[in-house]
């Protein structure tokens, strides 16, 4: 199993380690619920070094990226970021990613750990005819996420005063610990915060320094367990669950991340344009359990004793004291928000209610 | 609470011990530690008979649901009701072993064959 450069830090902190996409990662240090709440109330530090960093440079970088994603990359200002998906010919999602425009003809793309190789192959495969260079630097860089309302105070303690910190969905290149870093105002928790990309050799020192400087703000190291409950409360999709090569951004409810006026062709555009106009056969919904039960991935969803879909993510929502989930249902039943659905759990049906995709108020909105 | 001398554990991490003619079944401290924050316990119906090996309930942590298997055949005569509202009590007292169900049973020797005492169970985990 692969280890990040923070492996020894995790062991020292007593983390419980699990396999995530082939990486030996901390699932929790103390308790998922405690870590979750601390990110909502104070701050948390995550090791997300397993994620990938791919750089696209060259004269035709923009044209090249325009061909790969439904977003309009031309609208990005220097140092601005955009959340989007890379789509295949069927409109299915190869991966969801964030594109950062560092400067003209120089883009950083952060991708999911489980998709680094698939993405890199996809990128390379489509360079044909474009004057671009694609480099996978995932093995060179590590990444930590500092998330929660106290993140801005902690980053200030690290030497970046608040007025200089990047705005939401912007990235800055600066120095921390005498080392070149990228700091972006992005995250996967629904809270304000930053993601910091640094060379592997310096990440352990960065990790320890942030935990030290963040002490007075009650920072905690946070594992992947809470990362999952935090993102689910924010109704953010997870690749491999809500997003796959068989689901389109329209079906996944990500139409806000599609530029409907984009003139340029991109892979899968025909399917996506058609779905935007005529609708889809399935759609992603959010739900809250009304019976006492917890939804889990792959449970079947029912309505009037008919199977109509399946759960993609489900858990307790520590911030709400409720049990929530996301799942796909067929669209031909005209179910809407507040309507009742059932989940088949251990051969029994339990009631749930379709909910708006805003379990919590997001503080670092991407949409 | 000290570990009862006659306590036996299963490979699926349930324990069972006898006291005053009844059998008490619960989840081992090791299993609870592994599960992390426990947020839900689903109990069997009181009065029903469950066979050895049958699923009698579910314990769910934040991450996952784990099924509970009967270590012996018997009738459920009581469930640990306080865990319905406060499942986290299992985490708070993992070494005080809160039993999950009280069972009326005849515990046959052949049903004990695949069970091991707590010391052996602990050693096998190492």
Residue B22 inside a domain? The answer is: yes
Pairwise CB contact (< 8 Å): B62 & A346:
no
B63 min Cα distance to partner chain A (Å): 7
Superfamily of the domain at A53-136: Aminomethyltransferase beta-barrel domains (3.30.70.1400)
Pairwise CB contact (< 8 Å): A316 & B62:
yes
Q: For position A367, what pLDDT does the model report?
A: 41
Residue B47 inside a domain? The answer is: yes
Q: For position A364, what pLDDT does the model report?
A: 57
* CATH value at residue B27: 2.40.50.100
How many domains does chain B divide into? Answer: 1
Tell me the backbone φ, ψ of residue B90, rounded to 5 degrees: -65, -35
Using a CB–CB cutoff of 8 Å, tell me whether B69 touches chain A: no
Q: Cβ(A97)–Cβ(A110) under 8 Å?
A: yes
Spell out which residues of chain A touch residue B42, defining contact as CB-CB under 8 Å.
293, 346
Pairwise CB contact (< 8 Å): B63 & A27:
yes
CA-nearest residue to B42 within chain A is: A293
Spell out which residues of chain B touch residue A344, defining contact as CB-CB under 8 Å.
none
Using a CB–CB cutoff of 8 Å, tell me whether B54 touches chain A: no
Residue B23 corresponds to which tokens in the numbers above? 């059998």
Q: For position A358, what pLDDT does the model report?
A: 87
CATH 3.30.1360.120: does it fit domain A7-51+139-233? yes
Residue B70 inside a domain? The answer is: yes
Residue B49 inside a domain? The answer is: yes
Residue B55 inside a domain? The answer is: yes
d(CA B39, CA B59): 8
Spell out which residues of chain B touch residue A320, defining contact as CB-CB under 8 Å.
none
Between helices A32-41 and A224-233, what is the axis angle to 10°?
A: 60
Q: Which residue positions in chain B have pLDDT lower than 70?
A: 1, 94-96
Q: Which residues of A touch B (CB under 8 A)?
A: 16, 27-28, 31-33, 225, 228-229, 292-294, 296, 315-316, 318, 346
Pairwise CB contact (< 8 Å): B62 & A296:
no
Instruction: Name the residue facing A32 among B36, B42, B65 (closest C-beta).
Output: B36
Instruction: Name the residue facing B36 among A31, A228, A315 (closest C-beta).
Output: A31
Torsion sign, CA atoms B45, B51, B53, B54: negative
Pairwise CB contact (< 8 Å): A318 & B62:
yes
Instruction: Name the residue facing B37 among A33, A293, A294 (closest C-beta).
Output: A33
Tell me the residue range of the domain where B69 lies: 14-114
Spell out which residues of chain B touch residue A350, defining contact as CB-CB under 8 Å.
none
- A contact test, residue of B55, B58, B63, B92 with most A CBs within 10 A: B63
Q: For position A218, what pLDDT does the model report?
A: 98
Q: Which of A9, A5, A40 is nearest to A23 (CA)?
A: A5
CATH 2.40.30.110: does it fit domain A281-367? yes
Q: Cβ(A217)–Cβ(A150) under 8 Å?
A: yes
A108 min Cα distance to partner chain B (Å): 32
Cα distances (Å, whole numbers) of residue A334 to A217, A252, A324: 47, 17, 21
d(CA A25, CA A3): 7
Spell out which residues of chain B touch residue A292, defining contact as CB-CB under 8 Å.
40
Spell out which residues of chain A touch residue B55, defining contact as CB-CB under 8 Å.
346
Q: What DSSP string runs through A178-230?
A: TEEEEEES--SSSS-EEEEEEEHHHHHHHHHHHHHHTGGGTEEE--HHHHHHH
Spell out which residues of chain B touch residue A296, defining contact as CB-CB under 8 Å.
64-65
d(CA B39, CA B90): 9
Interface of B with A in 17-46 (CB under 8 A): 36-37, 39-40, 42
Residue A149 corresponds to which tokens in the numbers above? 């309302």
Q: Which of A1, A28, A3 is nearest to A13 (CA)?
A: A28
Q: Which of A17, A70, A81 is nearest to A366 (CA)?
A: A81
How do the pLDDT tens digits run along chain A, 367 residues long?
Answer: 999 999 999 999 999 999 999 999 999 999 999 999 999 999 999 999 999 999 999 999 999 999 999 999 999 999 999 999 999 999 999 999 999 999 999 999 999 999 999 999 999 999 999 999 999 999 999 999 999 999 999 999 999 999 999 999 999 999 999 999 999 999 999 999 999 999 999 999 999 999 999 999 999 999 999 999 999 999 999 999 999 999 999 999 999 999 999 999 999 999 999 999 999 999 999 999 999 999 999 999 999 999 999 999 999 999 999 999 999 999 999 999 999 999 999 999 999 999 999 899 877 554 4
- Domain ranges within chain A, ordered by starting residue: 7-51+139-233, 53-136, 281-367
Spell out which residues of chain A touch residue B58, defining contact as CB-CB under 8 Å.
346
Pairwise CB contact (< 8 Å): A292 & B40:
yes
Residue B4 inside a domain? The answer is: no
Spell out which residues of chain A touch residue B64, defining contact as CB-CB under 8 Å.
296
Instruction: Name the residue facing A225 among B42, B62, B91 (closest C-beta).
Output: B62
Q: Cβ(A226)–Cβ(A39) under 8 Å?
A: yes
Reduced to 3 states (helix: H, G, I; strand: E, B; else coil), residue A276 is helix
d(CA B36, CA B63): 8
């Amino acid at each position: 199993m692969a280890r990040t450069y923070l492996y020894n830090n995790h062991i020292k902190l007593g983390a419980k380690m699990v396999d995530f996409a082939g990486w030996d990662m901390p699932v929790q240090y103390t308790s998922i619920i405690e870590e979750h709440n601390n990110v909502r109330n104070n701050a948390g530090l995550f090791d997300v070094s397993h994620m990938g960093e791919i750089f696209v440079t060259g004269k035709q970088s923009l044209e090249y990226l325009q061909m790969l994603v439904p977003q309009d990359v031309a609208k990005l200002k220097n140092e601005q970021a955009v959340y989007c998906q890379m789509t295949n010919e069927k409109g299915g999602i190869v991966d969801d990613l964030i594109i950062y425009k560092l400067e003209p003809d120089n883009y950083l793309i952060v991708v999911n750990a489980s998709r680094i190789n698939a993405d890199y192959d996809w990128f390379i495969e489509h360079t044909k005819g474009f004057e671009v260079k694609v480099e996978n630097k995932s093995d060179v860089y590590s990444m930590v996420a500092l998330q929660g309302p106290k993140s801005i105070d902690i980053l200030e303690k690290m030497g970046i005063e608040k007025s200089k910190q990047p705005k939401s969905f912007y990235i800055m290149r600066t120095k921390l610990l005498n080392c070149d870093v990228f700091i972006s105002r992005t995250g996967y928790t629904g809270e304000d915060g930053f993601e910091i990309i640094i060379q592997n050799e310096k990440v352990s020192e960065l990790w320890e320094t942030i935990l030290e400087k963040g002490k007075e703000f009650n920072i905690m190291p946070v594992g992947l367990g809470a990362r999952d409950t935090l993102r689910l409360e924010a109704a953010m999709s997870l690749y491999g669950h809500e997003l796959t090569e068989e689901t389109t951004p329209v079906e996944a409810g990500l139409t806000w991340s599609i530029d409907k006026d984009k003139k340029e062709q991109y892979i899968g555009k025909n399917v996506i344009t058609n779905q935007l106009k005529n609708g889809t056969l399935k759609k992603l919904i959010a739900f809250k359990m009304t019976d006492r039960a917890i939804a889990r991935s792959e449970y079947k969803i029912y309505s009037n004793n008919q199977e109509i879909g399946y759960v993609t993510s489900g858990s307790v929502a520590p911030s709400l004291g409720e049990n929530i989930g996301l799942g796909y249902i067929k669209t031909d039943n005209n179910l809407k928000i507040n309507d009742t659905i059932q989940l088949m759990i251990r051969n029994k049906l339990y009631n749930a209610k379709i909910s708006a995709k805003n379990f919590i108020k997001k503080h670092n909105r991407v949409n | 609470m000290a570990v009862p001398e006659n306590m036996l554990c299963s490979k699926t991490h349930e324990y069972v011990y006898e006291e005053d003619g009844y059998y008490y079944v619960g989840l081992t401290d090791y299993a609870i530690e592994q599960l992390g924050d426990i947020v839900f316990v689903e109990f069997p119906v009181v009065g029903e008979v469950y066979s050895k090996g049958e699923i009698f309930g579910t314990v769910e942590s934040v991450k996952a649901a784990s099924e509970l298997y009967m270590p012996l055949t018997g009738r459920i005569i009581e469930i640990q009701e306080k865990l319905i509202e406060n499942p986290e009590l299992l985490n708070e007292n993992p070494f005080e072993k809160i039993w999950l169900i009280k069972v009326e049973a005849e515990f046959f020797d052949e049903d004990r064959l695949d069970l091991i005492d707590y010391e052996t169970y602990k050693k096998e985990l190492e």
